[in-house]
């Protein structure tokens, strides 16, 4: 099943079962996906005049949908740290629970050992020797991970191995 359809189905089931927290969370995610589609449509409207083709082209593919979902998880994780700094543990816990609920829709995260091996391979193949070459390594690794590792985790690993 396509990720977007799974999200819609789960939102409908949450509505039927009375799980308002999950329905609200998935509704926000679907709104983010719709906003991304509208943004994509705005860029395409200048080049595509056929409305049917425009509608088809403006739909997010599976990877773009996963990217939106990953950004929603990241947003919630950032909120957790901000709420903890602000002395609001109940809000931090709520955001943490939402992030965990959304993680269920993403592919399984890459282990640290697998990520380390991938980063080391990218470092050796790109010839990177210092943190200045981090961009080369990051672009090589991003192609390989495709949603299975958080960008901050990858960045930290690259910095650690380039020191």
- The model's pLDDT over 101-138, given as tens digits with 9 standing for 90+, comes to 999 999 888 888 988 998 888 888 888 888 888 888 88
What structural domains and CATH numbers belong to the chain?
3-103 (1.10.1510.10), 112-162 (1.10.10.410)
pLDDT of amino acid 97: 95
High-pLDDT (> 90) share of the chain, %: 55
DSSP 35-69: HHHHHHHHHHTTT---HHHHHHHHS--HHHHHHHH
Predicted pLDDT of residue 80: 95
Angle between helices 134-145 and 112-126 in degrees, nearest 10: 130
User: Given a cut of 80, is residue 15 above it in pLDDT?
Assistant: yes
Q: What is the pTM of this model?
A: 0.79
Render pLDDT for 143-158 as a digit per residue (tens, 0 to 9).
888 778 888 888 888 8
What tens digit of pLDDT does each residue of 23-42 get? 999 999 999 999 999 999 99
Helix residue spans in 45-150 (DSSP H): 51-58, 62-85, 89-103, 112-126, 134-145
- Portion of the chain with pLDDT greater than 70, in percent: 99
């Amino acid at each position: 099943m396509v990720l977007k359809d799974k999200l819609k189905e789960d939102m409908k089931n949450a509505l039927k079962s009375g799980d308002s927290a999950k329905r609200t969370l998935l509704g926000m995610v679907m709104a983010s996906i719709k906003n991304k589609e509208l943004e994509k449509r705005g860029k395409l409207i200048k080049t595509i005049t056929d409305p049917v083709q425009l509608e088809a082209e403006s739909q997010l593919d599976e990877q773009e949908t996963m990217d939106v979902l990953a950004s929603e998880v990241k947003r919630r994780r950032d909120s957790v740290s901000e709420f903890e700094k602000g002395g609001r543990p109940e809000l931090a816990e709520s955001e943490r629970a939402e992030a965990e609920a959304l993680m269920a829709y993403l592919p399984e995260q890459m282990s640290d050992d697998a990520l380390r091996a991938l980063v080391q391979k990218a470092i050796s193949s790109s010839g990177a020797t210092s943190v200045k070459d981090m961009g080369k390594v990051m672009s090589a690794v991003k192609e390989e991970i495709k949603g299975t590792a958080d960008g901050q985790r990858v960045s930290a690993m690259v910095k650690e191995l380039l020191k």
